[in-house]
């Protein structure tokens, strides 16, 4: 099945930098803007954004970095691309210690080509989430004059040099911010694909604070939160999975399910930065009720 009908208003060409060949979609007239899609690929919402950029008087170039062009996002599709497209393909060695992704060289070559074709002061580059760091790294190409990063997540440098210096990595995320199940799975997949798993993986539930932009976000179903904890435990068996922010609003039963799913740490104290947290006496009562014992201090 093909989904390319969504790109019917675009022409396409294959670009080869001497190492790899990838298809690039083009639309519009004016200065060049390279739009790099988010996971899992060039889905309809990314194409709609590119349409608006072209309508504003730019020439849009959208390289196919991963996924099936035009295919709508589904949970299974997103997870497959995150695992296969990031963890396996050699072009995306994004987590090699102190190295940028080899695909950056290909993108720099594309920028040089489209600048020569479209002219102007230079090329714009838009990266979304996974590709946000790519847009920044493209700045080493003189033709790139305007990188735009939307929620950049890479490159990451959780590598052996940090651990050799005695540093431990604590990296997790906040769920319940209006994201999809695929987004939550992607967060876990990204951490699980690191060369070495973080020693500590905090899973936070959004605390909907009055007056903040996410105050009216629909509450995440408790079992969806438990699934996130379970996925972190399955994918990173040696990491400490921390039940973090949001516990003040959780029932004892929900916290018990999280412990059964694989959480083996909590943050103690009446506050976590700016949000409330159960007090020590409350936590001690819960531990006693569940028959849980604290780990000895090391």
The pLDDT tens digits for 170-204 are 888 888 888 888 878 878 887 787 777 888 888 88
Q: 150, 171, 193: which is the final residue of a domain?
A: 150
CATH of the domain at 240: 3.20.20.70
Structural domain including 271 reads 160-289
Residues 169 and 279 in one domain: yes
Q: 150, 177, 197: which is the final residue of a domain?
A: 150
Residues 100 and 172 in one domain: no
Q: State the Cα–Cα distance between residues 283 and 123, nearest whole angstrom.
A: 55
Q: Provide the pLDDT for residue 187.
A: 81
| Tens digit of each residue's pLDDT (9 = 90 or more) over 246-265 | 888 888 899 999 999 888 88
| Tens digit of each residue's pLDDT (9 = 90 or more) over 18-63 | 888 999 999 999 999 999 988 788 888 889 999 999 999 999 999 9
The answer as to whether 296 is a domain residue is no
Query: Does 271 score more than 80 pLDDT?
Result: no
Task: Centre a 10 Å sphere on the Cβ of residue 14 and count the other Cβ atoms it contains.
Answer: 9
Q: For the ranges 46-55, 61-70, 287-296, which has the lowest average pLDDT? A: 287-296
Q: What is the dihedral of CA 108, 109, 112, 114, to 10 degrees?
A: -110
Smallest Cα–Cα separation from 31: which of 3, 66, 59? 59
**In the numeric block, which tokens belong to residue 201?**
């993986």
Residues 207 and 131 in one domain: no
Q: Output 57 or 153, whichever has higher pLDDT.
A: 57
Residues 84 and 33 in one domain: yes
Q: State the Cα–Cα distance between residues 189 and 88, nearest whole angstrom.
A: 12
Confidence of residue 96 (pLDDT cuts 50, 70, 90): very low
Q: Provide the pLDDT for residue 83.
A: 64
Residues 123 and 184 in one domain: no
The answer as to whether 295 is a domain residue is no
Residues 118 and 176 in one domain: no
Q: 150, 177, 207: which is the final residue of a domain?
A: 150
The answer as to whether 55 is a domain residue is yes
Q: How far is CA 64 from CA 90, 162, 217, 237, 295, in A?
A: 15, 33, 33, 34, 49
Residues 98 and 193 in one domain: no
Query: Does 2 score more than 70 pLDDT?
Result: no
CATH of the domain at 39: 3.40.50.1820
The answer as to whether 245 is a domain residue is yes
The answer as to whether 294 is a domain residue is no
* Count of structural domains, the chain: 2
Residues 137 and 164 in one domain: no
The answer as to whether 98 is a domain residue is yes
CB contact at 8 A, 114 and 125: no
Residues 191 and 125 in one domain: no
Query: Does 1 score more than 60 pLDDT?
Result: no
Confidence of residue 17 (pLDDT cuts 50, 70, 90): confident
Q: Provide the pLDDT for residue 182.
A: 80
| pTM (whole model) above 0.85 | no
Query: Does 126 score more than 70 pLDDT?
Result: yes
């Amino acid at each position: 099945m093909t989904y390319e009908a969504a790109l019917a208003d675009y022409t396409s060409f294959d670009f080869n930098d001497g190492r790899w060949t990838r298809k690039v979609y083009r639309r519009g007239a004016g200065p060049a803007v390279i739009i790099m899609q988010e996971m899992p690929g060039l889905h309809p919402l990314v194409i709609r954004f590119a349409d608006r950029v072209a309508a504003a008087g730019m020439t849009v170039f959208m390289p196919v970095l991963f996924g099936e062009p035009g295919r709508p996002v589904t949970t299974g599709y997103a997870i497959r691309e995150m695992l296969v497209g990031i963890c396996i393909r050699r072009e995306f060695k994004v987590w090699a210690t102190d190295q940028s992704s080899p695909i950056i060289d290909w993108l720099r070559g594309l920028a040089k080509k489209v600048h020569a074709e479209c002219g102007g002061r230079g090329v714009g580059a838009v990266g979304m989430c996974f590709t946000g760091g790519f847009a920044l790294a493209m700045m080493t190409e003189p033709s790139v004059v305007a990188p735009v990063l939307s929620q950049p997540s890479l490159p990451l440098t959780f590598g052996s040099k940090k651990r050799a210096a005695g540093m431990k990595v604590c990296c997790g995320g906040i769920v319940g911010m209006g994201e999809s199940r695929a987004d939550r799975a992607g967060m876990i997949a990204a951490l699980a694909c690191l060369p070495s798993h973080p020693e500590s993986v905090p899973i936070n539930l959004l605390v909907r604070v009055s007056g903040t932009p996410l105050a009216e976000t629909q509450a995440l179903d408790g079992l969806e939160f438990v699934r996130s904890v379970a996925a972190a435990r399955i994918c990173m068996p040696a990491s400490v999975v921390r039940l973090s922010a949001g516990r003040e609003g959780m029932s004892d039963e929900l916290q018990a399910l999280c412990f059964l799913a694989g959480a083996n740490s909590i943050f103690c104290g009446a506050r976590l930065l700016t949000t409330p947290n159960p007090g020590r006496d409350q936590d001690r009562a819960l531990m006693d009720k569940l028959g849980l014992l604290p780990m000895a201090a090391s």
